[in-house]
Chains A and B, each alone.
Chain A
Amino acid sequence: MIPGPFAYHRPRSLAEAVALCAAHPDDGRPLAGGHSLVPMMKLRLATPDHLIDLGAVAELKGVRREGNGWVIGATTTQAALITDPNLAQAIPILRETAQQIADPQVRSCGTIGGNVANGDPGNDMPALMMCLDATFRLAGANGTREVKARDFYQGAYVTALEPGELLTAITIPHPPAGHGYAYEKLKRKIGDYATAAAAVMLTLAGGRITTCAISLTNVAPTPLLAADAAAATIGQKPEEATFAEAAHRAEAITEPTPDGRGPADYRTKMAGVMVRRALARAVARASA
């Protein structure tokens, strides 16, 4: 399958890339890893007239500490997230999640920016970004702005990105030392999207859960922040009854589509199971 024709642009700087995207709000697409976009172009489901390749823009790559958080360039690959020693230490759930995306070849190309900006409900990073309370930096013709991951997703493939805007970086607050974390993903095989998945970040003190965030992947048109489920754990002992109540509340907010991964009620139940497992594993990893 050969994609339709397009004009190819290879900007060398971020300013040039942003200007090109802004100049082609409706007929252009940025190309990062391309592992969502190129298959869509082969199927002619995406037919951009202008393709803006971000591969030569060094400013978009890499991970650095900034203030009280981390800045991850949009074209940082999933493979780079897995091998970055500082991130593995500070935010280990990023590695755990990236390792469950696709396969080694795809992870060597696929980028975190593409994964979060595409708005595909099957992608794993969007829910994780909600769980971590990440912020997306968006650059456009009128300058840059910041949008919280928790406010970014509006529907399947519909996000707060305006036509011509480019997601340039993701900022993540530095998680507290001793936090517990887990990303639990049920999938049929390597490379598959989640039947259901859950991300959990929490802290413990005095034998109780003191902070908790929970989010869900691929059980609704958008990733979901399970705020009620997380609230149910605060001040509670980290035990099965607490996990079950959180799972119950998480199930209540799902709206999965029946597909080859199973009927809707099954995927809802699996979301609950993933929440229970993720909570239990996060608790086991947290310092009390």
Chain B
Amino acid sequence: MAKTAIALTVNGEAVEALVEPRTLLVHFLREQLNLTGTHIGCDTTHCGACTVDFDGRSVKSCTLFAVQAEGAEIRTIEGMAGADGTLHPLQEGFREMHGLQCGFCTPGMIMRAYRLLQENPRPTEDEIRTGMAGNLCRCTGYQNIVRAIQFAAAKIAGDSLQEAAE
């Protein structure tokens, strides 16, 4: 099958590639760009493990073709920590608040939470639960995921971490 040329930005870097049109975005990210932090969970648009940030919105990369990302700006979990390895407040929050157990859903959780906090920097617990409704976790029961996002929101806003932890 003929390949299509695409040009896009991934984690701030310009990427040009040839892809078969039927290549899903998540396969492109994982197998062509070796960005394996984005996970494939259900592969049916339900679980959110494959969530990435795509032109300022959260999308499930198992349900888009890579060719649809022509011209797009994409951010994946690999683009969250600073160049010196400093964790993003969300990453720190998931660690500090035990927001993960097996960790499989975590990259999707963090990428969705990243966009949620851009749209609503100080969400209530209800708003977090509604905003994270497209991401499934089979381990935690969500309680600590909510706390992790609250931790990050507080840290980004500059509140004291003691306050956030309570």
Verify if A102 is at the interface (C-beta below 8 Å from B).
yes
Verify if B76 is at the interface (C-beta below 8 Å from A).
no
Number of interface residues of A (CB under 8 A): 30
Instruction: Name the distance in Å between A36's Cβ and chain B's nearest Cβ.
Output: 10
B24 closest partner in A (C-beta): A2
Selected contact of A8 from candidates B45, B67, B134, CB within 8 Å = B67
Verify if A85 is at the interface (C-beta below 8 Å from B).
no
Verify if A38 is at the interface (C-beta below 8 Å from B).
yes
What residues of chain B lie closer than 8 Å to A38, measured between beta carbons? 45, 63-65
Contact: B21 with A7, CB < 8 Å?
Answer: yes
Contact with A along B103-142 (1 / 0, CB 8 A): 0000000001000100000000000000101100000000
What residues of chain A lie closer than 8 Å to B86, measured between beta carbons? none
What residues of chain A lie closer than 8 Å to B112, measured between beta carbons? 104-105
Contact: B131 with A6, CB < 8 Å?
Answer: no
Number of interface residues of B (CB under 8 A): 30
**Residues of B35-79 whose CB lies within 8 A of A:** 43-46, 48, 51, 57-60, 63-65, 67-68, 70
Verify if A269 is at the interface (C-beta below 8 Å from B).
no
What residues of chain B lie closer than 8 Å to A263, measured between beta carbons? none
Residue in B24, B45, B131 whose Cβ sees the most chain A Cβ within 10 Å: B45
Instruction: Name the distance in Å between B150's Cβ and chain A's nearest Cβ.
Output: 18
Selected contact of B133 from candidates A1, A53, A103, A109, CB within 8 Å = A103
Selected contact of A105 from candidates B20, B43, B59, CB within 8 Å = B59
Contact: A1 with B134, CB < 8 Å?
Answer: no
Contact: B133 with A8, CB < 8 Å?
Answer: no
Across the A-B interface, how many residue pairs have beta carbons closer than 8 Å? Answer: 78
Contact: A1 with B60, CB < 8 Å?
Answer: no
Bound together, the chains give a CA A34 to CA B133 distance in angstroms of 20
Contact: A108 with B63, CB < 8 Å?
Answer: no
Given contacts A3-B22, A103-B133, A105-B112, contact A8 B60 (CB under 8 A): no
Contact with B along A94-114 (1 / 0, CB 8 A): 000000001111101100000
Bound together, the chains give a CA A3 to CA B20 distance in angstroms of 11
Verify if A207 is at the interface (C-beta below 8 Å from B).
no
Instruction: Name the distance in Å between B26's Cβ and chain A's nearest Cβ.
Output: 11
Given contacts A39-B44, A42-B43, A104-B133, contact A10 B60 (CB under 8 A): no
Verify if B101 is at the interface (C-beta below 8 Å from A).
no
Contact with B along A9-53 (1 / 0, CB 8 A): 010000000000000000000010011001101100000000101
| Cβ-closest 10 pairs across A and B | A103-B134, A8-B21, A108-B57, A105-B134, A190-B133, A5-B1, A103-B133, A105-B58, A3-B22, A105-B60
CB<8 Å pairs between A and B, sample of 22: A3-B22, A5-B21, A5-B22, A6-B21, A8-B67, A10-B67, A34-B63, A34-B64, A38-B65, A41-B22, A51-B21, A53-B65, A55-B68, A79-B57, A103-B48, A103-B133, A104-B134, A105-B48, A105-B58, A108-B58, A108-B59, A109-B64
B positions within 8 Å CB-CB of A = 1-2, 4, 20-24, 27, 43-46, 48, 51, 57-60, 63-65, 67-68, 70, 112, 116, 131, 133-134
Since A42-B43, A56-B70 are in contact, a sample of 10 more A-B pairs with Cβ atoms closer than 8 Å, ordered by chain A residue number, is: A2-B23, A5-B21, A8-B4, A8-B67, A38-B65, A103-B48, A106-B60, A109-B57, A109-B63, A191-B133
